[in-house]
Each structure stands twice: as C-alpha cells, then as structure tokens.
Structure 1
Amino acid sequence: MTSLTKKELEIMKVLWEGSELKPAEIQELVPGGVGNAALRSLLLVLLEKGHVQREKRGKAFYYRATTSRAGVFHSMIRQIANVFSGGSPRRLMAQLVENEDLSAEDVKELKRLLSDKEVEK
C-alpha cells in the first residue's frame, strides 16, 4: 500500500466518514480547506494509488474510499515500526510507552488490552 500525504489522509478521512461524495462536498469538509484545483489533483493521485474510486453520475463525479481506514492504519504503523523500531511492533509500543506521558487510566487500559490479547491465544 502506498503511503499518503497529510492532505491525502484528510481527504480519505472525509471519504471514510461520508461514503460517496462530489468534490464540492469533499472540499467543504476538508480541515483547513483546500482549493478546487488542488483537491481535484489530490483526488486524481488517490485514484491512481488505488485508494479511491469514482463514478460519473450525470455531469458529476462521485468519489468513495476503496481502502479501509484499518488497512491504511496498519500500513502506516508498519512503516513507522520499520523506520523507528527496526520493524518490531513490540519495540514501537515500548518506545511509545516510554516516551508518552501516560495517565494511570491509560496504563490500566493498556494492561487490560494486553490481558485480553493473552486470553485470545
């Protein structure tokens, strides 16, 4: 899966939350705004990367996400783990735990998630 830029991710987020949308509808929902020409260019890039599909209805194109939020998340986490943690998810999680200011509630929730994961095995 190809990586996504910040603006591409913002467009994908809009599509994940809005199903099929016309460019004008997407433009209204992109945080921080995006110009019409830039949006159309970004949509073409997302189309070429295989992250979106478009369908012509009358004079308008409707765009929808074809890659799932979970799939993109997993791909990005793998890239981050490869770059910062030698490809190890365990080392990536350890770095996050060590470097983030976690509350007691955060730690409790992490312990619960790990315990649930052990039970699954």
Structure 2
Amino acid sequence: MSRFTPGELAVMQILWEQGELKPSELQEHFPEPIKNPALRSYLAILVEKGHISRRKVGKAYYYKAITRRKAAFRSTIRQIVDAYCEGSARKLILDLIRAEKLSQDELLELKRLADDPQQK
C-alpha cells in the first residue's frame, strides 16, 4: 500500500469519519482552506491509487473510502518498523515507551493488556 501525502491523508480522514461525500462537502470539512482544483487533484490521485471510489449521481460525483483506516494504519506502521526500527516491532514499542516516559501504572496497564488473550 502506498503512503499518503499529508493532503491525501486529510481527504482519507474526512471520508473515514464522514462517509461518502461530494467534493464541496469534503471542502467544508477540510482542516485548512483548500482550493477546489487542489482538492480535485487529491481525489483523482486517490481514485487512481485505488484508495477511494467515485460514483455519479445526477451531475455530482460522490467519493467514498475503499481502503480501510485500520489497513492503512497497519501498512504505515509496517513501513515505519522496516525503515526506522530494523524490522523489529519490539524496537518500535520500546522506543515509544521510552519516548513517552510512561508511568509505572501505564506500564502495568500495558503488561496487563499484553498478557490478556482476550484483547485484540
């Protein structure tokens, strides 16, 4: 799965949260002002990459996320692990724990979650 640019990710986040939208509706939800041609460029790229679909209703096009948020997240994490952590998820987790300076209670909670076979 290809990485998202910041603009593409903003579009995906809106579609994941709001569902199917027209470009004008997407524009209203965009985190910062965006001109229509720039938004349509993101939409065309995401359609081409296969992350969103487009359907015509009357004169309007509606866009919908095909790629699921969880799949995109997992792919991004895998890329980070491979690029920055020598392929080791353990190294990523240790780096996160150290960077976040978790409290003893938070560490115990993580251990409890890791030990619980019911957690997914």
TM-score (norm 2): 0.91
Structure 1 vs Structure 2 CA RMSD: 1.5
Give the Cα–Cα distance (whole angstroms) in 1 for the partners of residues 32 and 104 of structure 2. Answer: 34
- Could you tell me which amino acid in structure 2 is paired with residue 109 of structure 1? E
Counterpart in the other structure of 1:42: 42
Structure 2 portions without partners, runs of 5+:
none
Using the size of structure 1 for normalisation, the TM-score is: 0.91
1:11-39 residue CA offsets vs partner (Å, 9 max, x unmatched) = 10100111110000001111123211100
1:20-59 equivalence runs, <5 A: 20-59=20-59
The alignment covers a number of residue pairs equal to 119
**Deviations 1:48-83 (CA, angstroms, capped at 9, x unpaired):** 111000000000000000000000000000011011
Distance across 2 between alignment mates of 1:52 and 1:109: 37
- Equivalent position amino acid for 2:4 in 1: L
**Cα deviations by residue, 1:79-116 (Å, 9 ceiling, x for unpaired):** 11011101111111111111223234432331222111
What residue ranges of structure 1 are gaps of 5+ in the alignment? none
| Structure 1 residues 37-116: aligned runs within 5 Å | 37-116=37-116
Equivalence for 1:16: 16
